[in-house]
Structure 1
Amino acid sequence: MDPVAAKSSFLCMYMSTHKDTLASYVIYHGKVVSTKITDAEMTRIDSKGMDISYQIPSSGNEKISIRIGFEPPLSGYEEVKPRLLSMKADAEEALGMVPAPQITEFTVSPTWLAPAGLVILLTYVTLSPPLSSNVPPYLYPGSFIQNFVGEWVIKFSWGTVVVLHALESLYTATLVKRHRTPFRVGAMYVIGTLLCGYPGWMELKRNVQAARIDSILKGK
């Protein structure tokens, strides 16, 4: 049994007092082009999405129904509140109802470790000398890998890393500008992305989402 659908009636009743939030869901997540939603009501919610009925001036008293999916689906009832808050934050910021939150701190999480380790390994293999009997023991693994995969694989790997990380760092720069980070903090996110790739911009987006939800919970 769907744990979210089992409490659909309660959730729909609760959301009936947040019509402005439902309207923002319809316009942003439902991609409904309208300057005004005159009424909105959640009629059902389950782990895969929610059904909302709404009215616009041109529809008179007729209600229009829309299904807004959850990507990814909710794994349990405990995910309902954070997901709805996250969707509310995304919608209200995109629609200009609230300003984008400012990020003032640089943070690092364990997700940085694997990509950083791969870059370090690639650097180690690249700088190791060609395989021979004179290779120092601490460089032998790198020389062996270099000899095994071939020079073209190493060059291709570096080319891929440079292009992807450069594009990702440009994306990070747009996030830094949008969320008005101090110069030092913004530079650290951009440089971190340039060196390690996706963990840089993902870390920044996690902090942005946390700041959005915190702002909503404080009623700002």
Structure 2
Amino acid sequence: MSDPVAAKSGFLKMYMSSHPDTLVGYAKWYGKVTEPITSAEMSAIDTKSMTLTCTLKNGSKKEVVVVIDPPLSGYDDVKPRLLEMKALSQEGLGMIKSPKITAFHLPPRGINFALGFYSLVSYGIFAVSDDRSPFFAPAQFLHAYIPPTVFKILLSMWFGIHILEGLYTISLCRKHKASFPTTVRIMFSLPYDEFSNRSQVAYFAATVGIGFHVWQDLRRRIQDARIQSVMKVE
């Protein structure tokens, strides 16, 4: 099966030829080129990597392969990913600052999934299996095959994994200064630093309760903010 990005690499190479500074940033940040670069051009691209041919200050050429991780899902994923990679390279090289996230958001999908999980596990743990009411009839069936201890283990594993995910969420918050909306901060008369710390606790608690949906949503919003930041200066 042909690579959908490689099939249109001719257009992408021509388009990126008008963005040499972006390619130089890719080479320096992702390709780890430490020598002074005067120019760079894209010689190949597919869903997994791009190949850059760099012209160094001394006149020599250097070929660099930049891995695209995770791989592009298709051609439509090229533009947003290249813009994000541009922002990341410029952040890493100290050319721009990391975007700030100024609104706390709980993804509805995560809330619905968590409520369903808690309802099922709580029912499995606390349901009275010897009660003859219709409400507990499913519990009698469940407990015939799955003892309540299994549900307790599932709940413990849920929180254990989500605590680790919560630490990752805090790292995103610290890097991107995530906070609640400014109007809420003013309403409670909280200074920015104190409020930022409280928002990190809120993001951590949300991740422990809901899981990966929180940090995935936060990463998506960071990606959108990065894309907007680089598009403003293009």
TM exceeding 0.5: yes
Q: Which runs of 5+ in 2 are unaligned?
A: 180-194
Shift of the 102–12 alpha-carbon distance from structure 1 to 2, 3 Å rule, reads: same
Q: State whether residues 125 and 143 of structure 1, in contact with CA within 8 Å, keep that contact through their aligned partners in structure 2.
A: no
Which of 80, 83, 86 in structure 1 is aligned with 2:84?
Answer: 86
Q: Distance in 1 between matches of 2:49 and 2:101?
A: 30
Which of 146, 153, 177 in structure 2 is aligned with 1:180?
Answer: 177
Aligned-pair identity in percent equals 39
**Residue 197 of structure 1: aligned partner:** 211
**Residue 27 of structure 1: aligned partner:** 28
Give the counterpart letter for 2:48 in structure 1.
K
Q: Distance in 2 between matches of 1:3 and 1:165?
A: 36
**Residue 184 of structure 2: aligned partner:** none
Q: Distance in 2 between matches of 1:38 and 1:8?
A: 23
Give the counterpart letter for 1:102 in structure 2.
K
Give the counterpart letter for 1:119 in structure 2.
Y
**Residue 68 of structure 2: aligned partner:** 70
Alpha-carbon deviations, 1:80-130, whole Å to 9, x = none?
21121121122222333221111112234354133442233212322223x
**Ranges of 4+ aligned residues in structure 1 off by more than 4 Å:** none
**Residue 103 of structure 2: aligned partner:** 105
Give the counterpart letter for 1:34 in structure 2.
T
**Residue 162 of structure 2: aligned partner:** 165
Which of 148, 153, 166 in structure 1 is aligned with 2:145?
Answer: 148
Q: Which runs of 5+ in 1 are unaligned?
A: none
Q: Distance in 1 between matches of 2:15 and 2:50?
A: 14
The number of residues matched between the two structures is 215
Deviation at 1:69? Answer: 3.1
SS of residue matched to 1:54:
strand
Q: State whether residues 125 and 149 of structure 2, in contact with CA within 8 Å, keep that contact through their aligned partners in structure 1.
A: no
Q: State whether residues 28 and 34 of structure 2, in contact with CA within 8 Å, keep that contact through their aligned partners in structure 1.
A: yes
Shift of the 67–100 alpha-carbon distance from structure 1 to 2, 3 Å rule, reads: same
Q: Distance in 2 between matches of 1:163 and 1:135?
A: 35
**Residue 61 of structure 1: aligned partner:** 59
TM-score (norm 1): 0.83
